[in-house]
Structure 1
Amino acid sequence: MPVRAVRSVATQWRNPNGLPGDELPIEWCGPRAARVGSRSAGKVSGRISLEHYRATFTPMGDGFHGYDPDGALIQLGMPTSGSLLVWFVPRRGEPAELRVEVSTVDPSGSEAKVDAREERAQLSDNGPLRLQLQELEADQPYRLIASFVERGVEQRRVLDVRTAPAAGTSSAFSFLSSSCIQPFAEEKGETIVTEQTVRSLWLYRRRAQGTSAPAPAFALGLGDQVYVDSGGRAMLTGMHRQRARYGRGEAAAFFEAAYRGQFSLPPLVSARAALPSAMMWDDHEIRDGWGAQLDENAREGSELRWEEHLRAARHHFIAWQSFRNPMRSDAEPDVRARALLGHDLTQSPELDFEAEWGASASFFVMDQRSARSAAAARVVSDAQLERLRRWLNRPRFCPTLLVLGSPMPITQLRRPVELVEYLIPARWDDLRDSWWSKACRGQRDTILQLLQSFFRAHPEHRLLILSGDVHFCEVLELSDQGRIFGHEVVSSGLAHDKLHRFGRGSPRNAKALAFGLGSAGLGAFHGPCFAELFVNPALNGPPDVEVTFHTATSADGASLANPDGAMPPRLPLPLSSRASCGEDLLQRFILRPEPGSCPKARAAGFQ
């Protein structure tokens, strides 16, 4: 897995006419980082051409062979008990023509073809295709043979996937939770990928493919799956990312290049072809702190300044990410209508979704960007709050794990030392963007009160909140007047452009949130990693829940960890006993750090 040290290697990029262009020097700096020469000097700034933006990164080394940011991709979306979802994007510039054959697979490996009703959706003719295969049996393994043409040659891909359990069935399963995928760092005018990112993506691919243990059932991405505003491939610049590096009319083409460049990274391609996924966006798919900058509806002359940018951001999020998600029953059936903007850019149609996994677990994943406005003290619309209330109170006939996805952590508490951020103007938008800010606290308390009222009335169920955003991982224990009724698992981020040391985790002793609710931190970890949740039916009561974190580095980021891709230990929730004073439970998940492997030449993300 370690990246080979390769120096003074050159590759060619091609200009729009398909002719050889300038050579870009590629260099792997020791064992730590993949590095490619950038055609702009100094820090990310100023206008760039689309051809330059597409050509800024060409990775090499173990795990990145065959990287083709223009190539076709076929991956799996979130299954239901009666359907499977295939997501496909053709090679850039080619039509999205896809054929899929569906077969059942019995325990002996024998296949039998079945007829599945197809439902297709696209936002644009050559853009990503959502293909839902319906009228299938629950909890059954299927083999999909997908055929398409790329560069005039017919390609075939085999996808093995299972439908979700039936509504009344309880079964054990696990799933992955991650956020914040920022693989492209920028250093001295060059785009690099650090080896901590290579290790983290390698671990993610192994778990998706079930290499080290039985594969999870699916994966959730809880925001910032793409960064368009920071790192080595930023298309926005300035302190608050207020300036575009592209020209008028180019936003859509730049967003396509950003999505293709990141979604085509080989470890992610392999993982998402093996493991169904569902995704929600956060600010970095649009702009850092979108909805909290207070200039979202600013005008330049007669035009809304951010209209073109937001239209492209929303179009590409829906086509590349939301197309993998279950569709809300009350959502606009015309997908093109869902991609439209509101007259107020902070009041566009929301894209929250729900999912069921048999009788064991029910999911509600919030959209906290489409209607976010710090000026209006709003994170989500009243309509989304009502959908959340209806989801909580839906009739259920056995104890269930209720999973609330919130891209922003909702039960974290700030420590006094972090109040120094109020003295840093560059952080003011982040302060307005958090659930504990004055502008957001009202809706946060509304959600907490909804949860408190429901779980007081229905103690047979169990709460699990999943979140991301903050670039460190944490487990929080939630209590209501001393009774533990749920947990929040923060998983952020899967790939870092650098090691983030801000955010120290929540206090270990329960502190008041609101209405008698308390929150206590069980530990935090700042390196790149992702969470895996294990759900096991219990005889009397809600399912048992365990969590583990797949960590790529040591706690200080100075060395890599888990070179074998082994399964870390699991942490049962709630804890049978409290951690000893000063013990950080999340440090238990760091497997076999490699001391002394830190390179002499510093690479981004390593001390």
Structure 2
Amino acid sequence: MTLSRRQALTTTGIAALGAGCGPAVAVTAPLGGGAAAGRPDPFRLGVASGDPWPDSVVLWTRLAPRPLADDGLGGVGSRTVQVAWQLAEDARFRKVVRTGTVAAKASGGYAVHVTPTGLAPGREYYYRFRADGHLSPVGRTRTAPARGAMTPFTFAAASCAHYEHGYFTAYRRLAEQDPDLVIHLGDYLYEYAPGSYGGANGAVRKHTEGKCQTLTDYRRRHAQYKTDPDLKAAHAAAPWAVVWDDHEVEDNWTGTVPGSSVPGFTARKRAAMRAYYENMPLRSAARPSGTKMRLYRRLTWGALASFHLLDTRQYRTDQPCDDWLRTGCDDRNDPGGRVLGSAQLSWLDGSLRASGARWDVLGQQIFLAQRDMALGPALKVGMDAWDGYTAERDRLFDVLAASGARNPVVLTGDVHTAFAADLLRDFDDPDSPRVGVELVTTSIASDGDGYRDTAAIAALLAENPHFAHADQRRGFLLARAAPDSLTADFHTLDRISRKNTPSHRTTRLTLPDTARALA
């Protein structure tokens, strides 16, 4: 009998793993004997992988036998821990292809980033770690296909998971879809103090104490989120490619401008960036230096798709007209307003021109299409979206049009509502040229139980004729890329205030090859 990927991960428990190691590939406890064996399980935050290339992928874990320890170091203390790792072609680790040992240190929050190289392209792998006499859970990952491959694949997009607002069931439902890649578009965690950001359900569960301001605060908050079993399941199911939005640091921050009046933003940003790197399966190129962190990058998936991952926070000028929904804000048309910044926009231009892929997918955070929230002749738009930076949006559209990208598709998060929209050169003219399509994933949990207000949706779609879909419920996006089309399925959950609720595919949209509009 051949096990499915999900069955393999489920049935290959720690006892089976120990028995499955042959003598030539066995992982021994790096610290040896009885003392190590008597320590508590350090793998309570699970495992993850990310940024797959054709010949390598990042493997991650972070040691934390007491995840919420007051010092932010997970209860490990101050010692250095030797962590062994294995990468195999099968979930029972009978065909181990790479193995090694790495030191986990207090200075790095006891995080482990391993990047085995020389791997076969387009191959599924399984990985695990061992430390202090304990084996980690098993994760499934894969490498990207070889250059030129046109193999269809499935990717998921997720965003916005507020721990207090609901359970992370959507992550588990996402994992059950067996995606080949997960794109996380930001707001992986929220920095708020307990109860300070209310959702529709109130607080289903509580944040660690205080607003995140120090490195210890951010480490503990990341650890709290990583203890969630549904999030751990999603990380173990597939490699992730992550980019942040604002709440990984602070609500509505841009560049050097804080989103609040709390003092010490520079130190807070430095701490948040360091904790973000420690807790994500990122390559070493993303390691922060002070208050700078390079997150924009391109991942290729054979000749079928290129993922251009963008950072819309770090290089942005301050939002005009006080951040929120506004009418009559002339400053939003300021030519000096920036979202990507000149260097990142120039990089994107080069990345698109070099791609040559059938599908060019831009993973970014804030709503790109014009979104008019007022009924009637007035225009009411959000300043913390591309609507607050119309000149920069025009520059982005110039790049998309001039690059020759065959099928530009933009993935967006942030707004806690699912949308699909055509991207028009002039949003006030429904017949103006299309430059691409935007697919917006709703939140995993932020704002609590969603709802389906059909009258409000109908009015919103009428006000914005370039919209093809809107849904206020929680969930995720699952897309299937093939040479002739890209199919986007919007999955929703009726509620997240209860555990283990089912999800449903509520809408399917199809984008044919070379057609720049939704069908």
Using the size of structure 1 for normalisation, the TM-score is: 0.62
CA distance in 2, matches of 1:174, 1:147: 31
CA distance in 1, matches of 2:260, 2:337: 15
Indicate whether 1:311 and 2:262 are aligned.
no
TM-aligned CA distance change 1:125 to 1:435, over 3 Å: closer
TM-aligned CA distance change 1:122 to 1:139, over 3 Å: farther
CA distance in 2, matches of 1:103, 1:500: 41
Aligned length: 432
CA distance in 2, matches of 1:154, 1:99: 10
Written as runs of structure 1 = structure 2, the 5 A alignment for 1:2-401 is 71-91=44-64, 92-94=74-76, 95=80, 97-105=82-90, 111-115=94-98, 124-149=107-132, 153-185=133-165, 197-198=166-167, 201-210=168-177, 215-229=178-192, 232=195, 251-291=214-254, 305-321=264-280, 324-325=281-282, 331=285, 335=287, 338-341=288-291, 348-374=292-318, 377-394=337-354, 396=356, 400-401=358-359
Residue identity opposite 2:338 in structure 1: R
TM-aligned CA distance change 1:325 to 1:72, over 3 Å: closer
CA distance in 2, matches of 1:135, 1:394: 24
Instruction: Find the residue that maps to 1:138 and give its secondary structure.
Output: coil
CA distance in 2, matches of 1:509, 1:162: 43
Q: 1:191 maps to what in 2? A: none
Shift of 1:157: 3.1
Instruction: Find the residue that maps to 1:97 and give its secondary structure.
Output: strand
Shift of 1:417: 4.0
The match for 1:551 among 489, 492, 496 is 492
CA distance in 1, matches of 2:355, 2:237: 33
Q: 1:433 maps to what in 2? A: 384
* Runs of at least 5 residues in structure 1 that lack an aligned partner in the other structure: 1-67, 186-196, 235-244, 342-347, 423-429, 512-518, 539-543, 580-584, 586-607
Q: 1:478 maps to what in 2? A: 423
Residue identity opposite 2:399 in structure 1: L
TM-aligned CA distance change 1:231 to 1:141, over 3 Å: same
Indicate whether 1:490 and 2:440 are aligned.
yes
TM-aligned CA distance change 1:161 to 1:418, over 3 Å: farther
* Runs of at least 5 residues in structure 2 that lack an aligned partner in the other structure: 1-40, 65-73, 198-208, 320-335, 426-430
Instruction: Find the residue that maps to 1:284 and give its secondary structure.
Output: coil
CA distance in 2, matches of 1:147, 1:473: 40
CA distance in 1, matches of 2:408, 2:127: 35
Indicate whether 1:466 and 2:411 are aligned.
yes
TM-aligned CA distance change 1:358 to 1:184, over 3 Å: same
Instruction: Find the residue that maps to 2:254 and give its secondary structure.
Output: coil
CA distance in 2, matches of 1:135, 1:485: 38
Instruction: Find the residue that maps to 1:433 and give its secondary structure.
Output: coil
Is the Cα–Cα contact under 8 Å of residues 505 and 521 in structure 1 kept in the other structure?
A: no
Q: 1:573 maps to what in 2? A: 511
Shift of 1:156: 4.0
Percent identity between the two aligned chains: 23
Q: 1:524 maps to what in 2? A: 470
Residue identity opposite 2:86 in structure 1: E
The match for 1:448 among 397, 421, 427 is 397
Shift of 1:510: 9.6
Residue identity opposite 1:523 in structure 2: H
CA distance in 2, matches of 1:115, 1:135: 9
Instruction: Find the residue that maps to 2:387 and give its secondary structure.
Output: coil
CA distance in 1, matches of 2:122, 2:101: 19
Using the size of structure 2 for normalisation, the TM-score is: 0.72
Shift of 1:411: 1.4
Is the Cα–Cα contact under 8 Å of residues 401 and 435 in structure 2 kept in the other structure?
A: no
CA distance in 2, matches of 1:506, 1:545: 28
TM-aligned CA distance change 1:75 to 1:350, over 3 Å: closer
Is the Cα–Cα contact under 8 Å of residues 168 and 359 in structure 1 kept in the other structure?
A: yes
Residue identity opposite 1:134 in structure 2: T
Is the Cα–Cα contact under 8 Å of residues 180 and 238 in structure 2 kept in the other structure?
A: yes
Instruction: Find the residue that maps to 1:285 and give its secondary structure.
Output: coil
- Cα offsets for 1:443-491 (capped at 9, x unmatched): 1211011112234xx5xx1111000111110011235665655311001
TM-aligned CA distance change 1:446 to 1:250, over 3 Å: closer
Q: 1:38 maps to what in 2? A: none
TM-aligned CA distance change 1:506 to 1:406, over 3 Å: farther
TM-aligned CA distance change 1:570 to 1:284, over 3 Å: same
CA distance in 2, matches of 1:385, 1:495: 31
Instruction: Find the residue that maps to 1:271 and give its secondary structure.
Output: helix
